[in-house]
Structure 1
Amino acid sequence: MRLTDHKFLTTAILLFYNLPFIALSQTTANIQQSELITLDKRLSGITIESIQKTPLPSFQPDAIGILTSKQTGIPQQFWGNSDPNVIARLIEPYFDYTLPEITALWQRIVLSEIDAPTKQGKSGKILSARIAYLLNAGALDQAEALLKQAGPTTSNLFHQAFEVGLLTGRAQTACSNMLRNPSLSPGLKARIFCLARENDWNAAALTLTAALTLNQISELDAELLSLFLDPEIFDEANPPPAPVPLTALDFIMREALAMPRSGQALPLAFLHQDLQRETGWRNQIIAMERLVRSQALPSQRLITLYQEGIPSASGGVWTRVAAVQKLLLAIEDGQSTKISKALQDAYRDLNAVGLGFVLSDIAANDLNGKSLTAKGRRVRFHLQVLHPDAAELIRKVTPQSATDAFIKAILLGKIPQSANSEMQSAIRAAFNGTTSFNSLILDAKQGQMGEAILNSMTNLVKSHHRDPAAVETTIAALRIAGLEDEARRIAIQVMLNLDEPI
């Protein structure tokens, strides 16, 4: 076949796929023209009075959510009159190794059904950024739920739904929608993949050949698609290099062919594959740790996974597995000295990788009221203040240090009487209302609460939670928005983050 034949064939294919829409558009235009001519004849000589028009409220995709304002505690007018472009830029990034409360609050904001900004902007931009955040955090189930609520109303939302479908193993619906409406397709690569998924192998191969001939697809993409369509030609000794950046579609096709990974850390959203496939206990634990830290998955799943085998080595992930297993065995044994030592070790090892908070349920349920050593009691206190029932758990606890006394006062809704550090002074000022005004606090007071809170939390994270001014501004902005509990939890976690190892 000559090159011109390929071009003709490709044009014919594309015309075939779009012909129904072209024909429909032309038919609609003809009908509309005919109706207008007929209407003109009927209305000849008739005077029509002017009609008052009242615009209907427009649909706001940025207001879509899966949790109500009452469920999340996020104010209905959280965004106020902020610029949607600014909100979208602020809300999209996921920050690893941050305070658990910042991660939890960020996700609640993303999932909340609250009013869109009153300021006009590109419709749906904040919604798309919220879904992008969930993908960045590996929260596929949450992203899927939000996308289902929104529907594939735009090309960008469809692309995100397609990516989520690929990574959850539920791409069938997205592929079916794409093949029915080619305009939704993220590109020829996705279309070829979906044709193959629908068992239309000939159409997939023909589209690939035509696309390559017309330079509509890169050679690297064409090579991967060729191997995906015909795995028998794959030479395991010479796999194609992983593209940079690695898309979800690239990753899924490479995994299907059992190609080696690049060795670089995978995006969080890709890690669910290691939980679904028999990848080995170690890889499952590594994936689960990252997804629990991002709060894409609940903590209990990690504790359960830690107990599913015997550590085969020491160091790294195996140290954490062994520490949790020893703690659970010590609790069963009931000896206070052993429990205290195992609790210290497990807290130290998990806290080193930002996972200390996963032990809070154990501290609240299995260790509450148990006799422990002084150090064991202090670790238990630090874990119990992270628990949702923290106030009841520590109400009668006697603090063992000035820092713990400060933390207890904050947790119980009191303002500490004194401060022993610059950080404590900043926290105290934020709660007693003596914070100096700055631009972010002014924004919050003028109705741009969400923008001020996202900005202040971003500054706090970038300071590694050590900048007193960033802490003070974050707490003050949260309190202006009525998020008092969140402000107190962040203050407590900042103090724990600064505390000396026990």
Structure 2
Amino acid sequence: MRISCFLYFFLLASPLAAEAPLSAIDWLSIKKNDVESSLKSVEKESSDTNKDIQVSTLSSDKFQSIGLLPVYVTGIPTTIWRNSSFNDLTYSFKSMPTFSYPPIQELVYSLLLAEARPPLDEPESYSFLDVRLQKLLSYGAVDPAIALIERASPVPNSMVPLLFDISLLSNNNMPACDPIFKKRKNRELQGELVYCYARKGDWLTAHLILKTESVLGDISEHLISLLNRYLEVDFEVDLNALLPPPSLITPLEYRLYEAIGEPIPAEYLPIKYSQSDLSGDNGWRAQVIAAERLASTSAIPENQILGIYTKYNTSVSGGVWERVDAVKSLDTALELNENFEEILQNSLEVFSKADQLSLFAKLFARRIYEQSFSPKSKKIAADLLLLTNNFELTEYYWRSEDIRFGLVSGDFSNVKTKNETENIILKVFTDPKMPFLVEQKLNQGKLGEVILNALLQFETGIQGDLKDLSESLSTLNLIGLNNTARRAALTHLVLLNEKQSGVN
């Protein structure tokens, strides 16, 4: 399993029972070989005890929970989707946007990656796993998607094409060819087979298959043209090769265009293609743009973003380079403690103007808070920390009358509100009420649907629908996602105030 590639430490699992922030790294470090050895020893012991007992494997699609985050990490029960309609869940996931606030987006990742059984009415084995994988890809979370599909090991035949596509999207560009070789007779995978033989170095076999398929017609003419140019065996002018790329390309076509020296900029493609630019092979600008796109969906850890921002010295200005310069300047100012206050203000304005304040907070909030000297910079740092999972560090900064103190500490006894939004938030955490429809769905065992609906309600709530804001936060609070509810409320207060008053 390619767990080493999956450093999903930006994702804080949100346990439903006791919501202490936990990292996925602890359990990901468990060696697969140790588990396999344990299973083999148990199997041998059972066999020695009674030779007459016949052992058969339970069908994984019926009984096995598939996921990366175990129950003891998330607190999310494996039956979270069991009683919901497959069609309803599919619609919910497909229509689900990229959420504006990181705490909500991180919870979505927890739901997608948690060990869970499929709905009882799943039409075909692994159909729900496919829905989860497609959603991860829509956020650009390629490496977690690879790790998740491999948890269904051995990878089911129906998912081999998807595994191959996902592997091509990864920035290490190591295609999953072994399953393709095992299914070499599959007429729908002949293009993939040609590519894999070429990557293996067996150019003759790749060429023979391609020529055969040119006659049989199992590969599109456009793909045949690309493969011919990739194999460099046909130097005649091919009209198909001169045509511009189609508006929707496959991962294989994307890699072929790259290989023949005509790369398609990932910034103009769906976000799942941005992962390939993180390697830096397509230049620093492409790498920075990819990092920022993936940061917008919380699909990249902040230390990797910081490393990309500070990788080189800039020689141009404007656009993305303005943010690169801001990061490098502030990073240097924090290390040398020179011109800190002025550079902080400038950097904050740059990221606020680009609507990337949450990203800025993840990169610098804690360091700024620990090194702030003036009351003004301390206030800025405290607000920024509220946008991160280190919000509790600010508990002693706020007055007890401030709603932010209540959300950080959990003590609302002295809180005095200033506006309707604060009134609603205070009521949510001091006198929460379960919406009737939510209670109905919980009684039906549809916890997953309840969470998804609450997240969608919150997104409309922050756009101005205060009823949805109230119901969504109340639901999250009452079903045990108190930490997520608090972080979401804090994020909303900070960003709402920033929009209304601008950067101070």
Q: TM-score, normalised by structure 1?
A: 0.78
1:343 aligns with 2:341: no
Who is 1:406 aligned against?
A: 403
| Change in CA separation of 1:431 and 1:482 when aligned onto 2, cut-off 3 Å | same
Q: How far has the Cα of 1:89 moved from its partner?
A: 3.2
Who is 2:474 aligned against?
A: 476
| Change in CA separation of 1:224 and 1:298 when aligned onto 2, cut-off 3 Å | same
| Change in CA separation of 1:439 and 1:171 when aligned onto 2, cut-off 3 Å | same
CA distance, structure 2, for counterparts of residue 171 and residue 379 of structure 1? 41
1:108 aligns with 2:105: no
Who is 1:383 aligned against?
A: 384
Which of 393, 399, 420 aligns to 2:418? It is: 420
Who is 1:241 aligned against?
A: 244
| Change in CA separation of 1:185 and 1:199 when aligned onto 2, cut-off 3 Å | farther
Residue 396 of structure 2 aligns with an amino acid whose one-letter code is: K
Between 448-457 and 163-172, the greater mean CA deviation after superposition: 163-172
Residue 403 of structure 2 aligns with an amino acid whose one-letter code is: F
CA distance, structure 1, for counterparts of residue 206 and residue 452 of structure 2? 45
Summarize deviations over 1:369-424 as a string: whole Å, max 9, x none.
631242x2222011212333321x11110359x8xx22221121234744433333
Who is 1:27 aligned against?
A: none
Who is 1:397 aligned against?
A: 397
Maintained 8 Å contact 2:271/2:293: yes
Who is 2:16 aligned against?
A: none
Maintained 8 Å contact 1:79/1:449: yes
Who is 1:225 aligned against?
A: 227
Maintained 8 Å contact 2:140/2:297: yes
CA distance, structure 1, for counterparts of residue 292 and residue 397 of structure 2? 31
Residue 111 of structure 1 aligns with an amino acid whose one-letter code is: L
Summarize deviations over 1:198-247 as a string: whole Å, max 9, x none.
44434433433343334433322221122122277387997431123111
Which of 276, 295, 301 aligns to 1:298? It is: 301
| Change in CA separation of 1:369 and 1:342 when aligned onto 2, cut-off 3 Å | closer
Which of 447, 450, 453 aligns to 1:452? It is: 450
Maintained 8 Å contact 2:230/2:256: yes
Which of 370, 373, 378 aligns to 1:371? It is: 373
Residue 244 of structure 1 aligns with an amino acid whose one-letter code is: S
Maintained 8 Å contact 2:271/2:294: yes
SS at match of 1:182: coil
Residue 85 of structure 1 aligns with an amino acid whose one-letter code is: N
1:79 aligns with 2:100: no
CA distance, structure 2, for counterparts of residue 95 and residue 228 of structure 1? 37
CA distance, structure 1, for counterparts of residue 447 and residue 431 of structure 2? 17
Summarize deviations over 1:52-110 as a string: whole Å, max 9, x none.
xxx99653477211111221233444335111332233235663462111111111111
Residue 423 of structure 1 aligns with an amino acid whose one-letter code is: T
Maintained 8 Å contact 1:159/1:185: no
Summarize deviations over 1:473-502 as a string: whole Å, max 9, x none.
222222233111111111111222211322
Residue 384 of structure 1 aligns with an amino acid whose one-letter code is: L
Maintained 8 Å contact 2:82/2:119: yes
Maintained 8 Å contact 2:187/2:218: no
CA distance, structure 2, for counterparts of residue 186 and residue 425 of structure 1? 59
| Change in CA separation of 1:323 and 1:117 when aligned onto 2, cut-off 3 Å | same
Q: TM-score, normalised by structure 2?
A: 0.77
Which of 479, 485, 488 aligns to 1:487? It is: 485
| Change in CA separation of 1:370 and 1:201 when aligned onto 2, cut-off 3 Å | closer
Who is 1:324 aligned against?
A: 327
| Change in CA separation of 1:422 and 1:234 when aligned onto 2, cut-off 3 Å | farther
CA distance, structure 2, for counterparts of residue 383 and residue 354 of structure 1? 12
Maintained 8 Å contact 1:89/1:129: no
Which of 136, 139, 149 aligns to 1:137? It is: 139
Maintained 8 Å contact 1:136/1:269: yes
CA distance, structure 1, for counterparts of residue 175 and residue 186 of structure 2? 13
Between 57-66 and 143-152, the greater mean CA deviation after superposition: 57-66
CA distance, structure 2, for counterparts of residue 193 and residue 178 of structure 1? 10
CA distance, structure 1, for counterparts of residue 175 and residue 337 of structure 2? 52
Between 481-490 and 173-182, the greater mean CA deviation after superposition: 173-182
Summarize deviations over 1:289-336 as a string: whole Å, max 9, x none.
12233222210111122222222222211111111222223323436x
CA distance, structure 2, for counterparts of residue 101 and residue 169 of structure 1? 26
Maintained 8 Å contact 1:478/1:484: yes
Residue 182 of structure 1 aligns with an amino acid whose one-letter code is: R
Maintained 8 Å contact 2:84/2:449: yes
Maintained 8 Å contact 2:434/2:478: no
Residue 409 of structure 2 aligns with an amino acid whose one-letter code is: L
CA distance, structure 1, for counterparts of residue 104 and residue 185 of structure 2? 39
CA distance, structure 2, for counterparts of residue 97 and residue 342 of structure 1? 30
**Runs of at least 5 residues in structure 2 that lack an aligned partner in the other structure:** 1-55
Maintained 8 Å contact 2:266/2:273: no
SS at match of 1:74: coil
Maintained 8 Å contact 1:77/1:114: yes
1:121-136 counterparts in 2 under 5 A?
Answer: 121-136=123-138
CA distance, structure 1, for counterparts of residue 360 and residue 236 of structure 2? 43
Maintained 8 Å contact 1:158/1:184: no
SS at match of 1:81: coil
Between 320-329 and 228-237, the greater mean CA deviation after superposition: 228-237
How many matched pairs? 441
CA distance, structure 2, for counterparts of residue 223 and residue 191 of structure 1? 15
SS at match of 1:113: coil
**Runs of at least 5 residues in structure 1 that lack an aligned partner in the other structure:** 1-54
Q: How far has the Cα of 1:171 moved from its partner?
A: 7.3
Who is 2:315 aligned against?
A: 312
Residue 475 of structure 1 aligns with an amino acid whose one-letter code is: L
CA distance, structure 1, for counterparts of residue 296 and residue 266 of structure 2? 21
SS at match of 2:370: coil
1:5-404 counterparts in 2 under 5 A?
Answer: 58-60=59-61, 63-92=65-94, 95-96=97-98, 98-118=100-120, 121-168=123-170, 174-182=176-184, 186-230=188-232, 233=235, 239-261=242-264, 265-334=268-337, 338-351=339-352, 352-354=354-356, 356-360=358-362, 362-368=364-370, 370-374=372-376, 376-391=377-392, 393-398=393-398
